[in-house]
Every structure is written in C-alpha cells, then in structure tokens.
Structure 1
C-alpha cells in the first residue's frame, strides 16, 4: 500500500526554476490555461536551441529512432550527421498521432504545500503538451478521472479544439478517491486504434493497480508516458512542528510528530516509489517522477526523449492479479 499522504499547512521550500524557464508558482498566476501553455512552449522553443535536442522539435513528428529489423534503406543520414543517432522516416500511417492527455483529478491531487497544487501543475502540464502536439497537427484528446472517468474529449485536429480542451481542464474536480485501473481500462477499450497516452497522476495507489492499468494499455498496442506528479514535501517530508496530518485520499487525520515519524515515512514512501516506477517500466511505459517546483518546460524535454525512443513492440498483456 502507498504511504499516507501528508496534508499539513506548513509551506514547502521555494520553487527551483532553470535558467530562462518560468517558475511554476509564477506561471499559475496566469488564469488562462491556454496562455500558460503557450508561455511554456515558447520558453521551451527558446531553451531547445541551447540543448542537444536542437532542431528536433518538429522532426520528431516525422521520424523515429532506428530499431533492429527496420529497413536500413530508410535511414536519414542527414539526421545522423547532426545527432550521431540513427533515425528513419515514418510512413504515412505512422505520422499522425492520436494522443490522449489523461489527468488524475482525484482528491489527493488537490494537495499543495506551496503555491502550486498537484492538480494545478498536472492540468497545466497536460495543456502544455496538448498545445505542443496540436502545433504539430497531431490529434489530441483529454481524459480526466477520479474513481471513474469524469470528462472525455476525443482526439481532434480542428480549429477551436485546443480551446475546448483547455476549457474542460479549467473545471474544478469533485475530489473523489482514486481508481486507476477502471478508468484506464475504459478509455483503452474506447480507443482500439493505436495511440499515445500521457498520464499525469500522483499514483497514490497500490503498485499492482498501476501495473495492470498501464500494462493493459501497452498490451493493446498503445504508447504510454507516465508523469508521476508529487509535491516536494511528499518526497522530502521536511516538516518540523507536530500537528494533525490528513490523508489526502481518505480524509483521515492523525496527530504526527515529524521528528519521530520522518524516517519511517521516507522509508515507506521510497519503497512505494520504487514499486510504482518498476510497475510502469515492466509494463513497457516511459516513466518520469516530477515535483511541482520543476519547470514545466522540462516536461516537454522528457516527452521528446520518450518519443525519440518510441517504436517498441507492444508489451504482453499482464496477468490480472486482482485490484487492490
């Protein structure tokens, strides 16, 4: 089981932003999600010229990394000369992605020890990725979920679609508990055509549920990128004063003295984090654990890296060992 989620009122440490990147705490002061997304993508465009990914922001929609078995006649030697890596031109049926942003809107996502809650960060990240992919003419859709699917916007490429998608993300969630497996199975069954699913969640569920939900999407042939969104205090647990701590999933409160509980909390948290990461990786998904003080531009760098390594064979369907 995951450790209880701390939800005290003590502030977290200041946000850390990279050179030239926006501080997430400053970014969320922009009310419009679409304007936030545009600001992040523009910052990313500036930053990519100073990175090893220079020149690939558009080309990744048309190329994939060479894998054994590919016909070497389709290698692009110009890209090899620029990157020292082998890429092949995608065929027509590979180039138009169908992408789903899958955003956890459950109760625990409302937690934030500072200015940015996990929900605020996750929906801004989802809007940013949607903006970026829409710019490449990929069809982008949206799923929000709690213990069930709450909102579903099918992937589209048409004027006004991004504005509709971000308007849906502006709606405040009801704050129910999390069920990961059921919603992922539901959206997978509704989308038999191979696509890309980008999941934003704190994954405060048992690791076997993560393995089953993510694994079923991979077994159906979908590419899956998982961003585990956490508050810095959930990771570091740097509280000092004794007080009531509330489990953000169940609402249960317990009196805790951080001076005596910190070691056990960190041990249990790190063990669960390791299990969750392994569940995603063994299912064949890309996995990144991020905190809400991390510049959102780096989410796009993570996305590019994952997309550069795409083209893997679908994973075998995991054995369903039951939901926890």
Structure 2
C-alpha cells in the first residue's frame, strides 16, 4: 500500500494547502490565517471515504479501430476503466461505474465491497459501442446521483459538441465534485495519414463520403489541433485534470505517468 494520490477529509492530519473556492470552511486553519493573512485548509490522509465514479462512453464512435491499433477505443476504455477501478479499490476506497451513450445503460453506485471489481468488469464486458452521446445531460445526472463529494472520471473520445461538454463539467464542479477527463483517440484520428482515396462511413450518422486524404490532410490536422486545444482549455479553465492517450500507447505507462503527476500536484 502507498499513499493515495486522492485526498479527502478523515481523522489523520497530513498537511496544509491553499484554500480554493468550494472548500469546506470547517477545515480552514484560522491560526495560520492569523500568522500569514492567507487562507489555508487542513488536508487529511484519505482513508476510506473517497467515492470515485468512472463514466465510460459507449457511443458508436468508440468502436473505431485503425489497422495499426491492437485495440479499438472502446476496448482501450474498458481496460482503462477496469484498471482505474482496481487502483481505487486497492486503496480501500469506493468506486462505481456508469456506461453511457444517449443515456445511461449502466449505473452502479460506488462501493468498496470485495466483489465490486468483478462486477465492474462484467458490466463492461456486456456493453458494446452504439448510438450517439449526450455528454452534457450525462454529466449533469452523474453529479446529482453521486450524493457525497467525490471524483468523477470520464473516459471517452469526446467527439461531441464541446459546449455540451463544458456545461456538463461546470455542473460537476458546481456540485463540488472533482473531475478527470480521460481522452482516448486512435492515432489515425490525429494523423489522418492514409495514402489512398477512401470511402469514409459515419459511425454515429448515416452518411458516406469519398475523399482523397492527401488533399484534406493539412486542413484536417489543423482542425484536430484546434479541437484538442479547445478541450484542454475547457478543462484547464475548470480545474479539471486532462489525460490524453491513444490506443497505441501502453495503458500502464499512461496511468503511471498520470498518477505520479497527480500525487506530486496534490502534495505541493
């Protein structure tokens, strides 16, 4: 066992950190304020009171898999969700699962029971990517269903209206939850390095279009770069952790890097 990268309020005092809007005023250290004229909050080691909700996008676009990739985005998301759930449970904390597209197909509340990980894996295995995504309503509902302050992890490709995503994340933060965006893409979606004319078929819309990638590649990459900048800007502005991975990256490496980063930030 090691110190959790997630912190909460329990009986064992750990250290101070600067006050942030939304923090519980009961934990402001007024003695420190009297000495420094700055607000600091007492931070405690997280023991058993963390609630983590992992939401996984199962819309049709998550089924995409290029020829170079070993896994589809959905398969990678299944592995990521299962791994994150295992990590949280190993810390004796609660974890739940939501699988969604237009609405929730699965919503298992956070638990810390011995069979919770097996249940989460089984629920993930039963689902497959279909339909479209209503990300704003999904996040709004999750924030309301999670009764106690917790961490909401959203795993998906986020090929959505970013205004909806922003509204959903705002509500999550307004409800005093922490949010983590785990963004999964296929390398082909970023590089668009196809060399021959192709027929592109929509996964979430009934449309087909014949294109020559060589003529579109520059404009396409420019649009993707703008999209990635915008989603990162939204997350940064709302103090939401943003993690991007492609299906060609090793999942253990992605998670190890992120958890090390999170632990470092939380202990600053």
Question: 1:52-201 maps to which residues of 2 (within 5 A)?
Answer: 57-60=2-5, 66-69=16-19, 71=29, 90=44, 96-113=49-66, 114-173=69-128, 175-201=130-156
Q: How does 1:23-34 map to 2 (within 5 A)?
A: none
Inter-CA distance 124–266: structure 2 relative to 1 (3 Å threshold)? same
Aligned to 2:236: 281
The 3 A distance-change label for structure 1 pair 59 and 198 is: closer
In structure 1, the gaps of 5 or more residues are: 1-55, 75-87, 312-324
After superposition, the Cα gap between the structure-2 partners of 1:310 and 1:222, relative to the gap in structure 1 and judged at 3 Å, is farther
Q: After the TM superposition, which of the residue ranges 256-265 and 60-69 deviates more from structure 2?
A: 60-69
Alpha-carbon distance between aligned partners in 2 of 1:251 and 1:276, rounded to the nearest angstrom: 26
Matches within 5 A, 1:174-323: 175-297=130-252, 298-306=254-262, 308-310=264-266
Q: How many residue pairs were aligned?
A: 243
Taking a change above 3 Å as real, the CA distance of residues 182 and 133 of structure 1, as seen in their structure-2 partners, is: same
Checking the alignment, whether the CA contact within 8 Å between 2:96 and 2:108 is kept in structure 1 is: yes
Displacement of 1:97 in angstroms is: 0.7
Say if 1:195 and 1:61 are closer, same or farther in 2 by CA, change over 3 A: closer
Cα displacement (A) at 1:159: 1.6
Any idea what the Cα deviations from partners look like across 1:33-63, whole Å, max 9, x if unmatched?
xxxxxxxxxxxxxxxxxxxxxxx94343568
Give 1 or 2: higher strand fraction: 2
The residue that corresponds to 1:27 in the other structure is none
- TM-score, normalised via structure 1 length: 0.69
Q: Per the alignment, in what secondary structure is the counterpart of residue 154 of structure 1?
A: strand
In the TM superposition, residue 67 of structure 1 has moved relative to its aligned partner by 2.1
CA distance in structure 2 between the partners assigned to 1:207 and 1:124 by the alignment = 25
Contact 1:224 1:285 in 2 (8 A): yes
Report the CA distance shift for 1:275/1:62 in structure 2 as closer, same or farther (over 3 A): closer
TM-score by length of 2: 0.83
Looking at structure 2, the residues matched to 276 and 132 of structure 1 have their Cα atoms a distance apart, in angstroms, of 26
Shift of 1:309: 3.2
Determine the C-alpha separation between the residues in 2 that align with 1:128 and 1:147: 25
Q: Does the CA-based 8 Å contact 1:129-1:300 persist in structure 2?
A: no
Corresponding residue for residue 18 of structure 1: none
For structure 2, the residue ranges without an aligned partner over 5 or more in a row are 9-13, 20-27, 33-41
1:278 is paired with a residue of what secondary structure? helix
CA shift for structure 1 position 89: 5.4
Q: CA deviation at 1:173?
A: 2.2
Residues in 1 aligned to 2:31 and 2:256: alpha-carbon distance in whole angstroms: 31
- 1:200-239 deviations in whole A, cap 9, x for unaligned? 1100012111111111101110010111100000011111
> More relative contact order in 1 or in 2 (CA 8 Å, sep 6+)?
1
Q: Distance in 2 between matches of 1:62 and 1:282?
A: 21
Cα 1:310–1:147 change in 2 (3 A) is farther
Secondary structure, aligned partner of 2:17: coil
SS at match of 1:309: helix
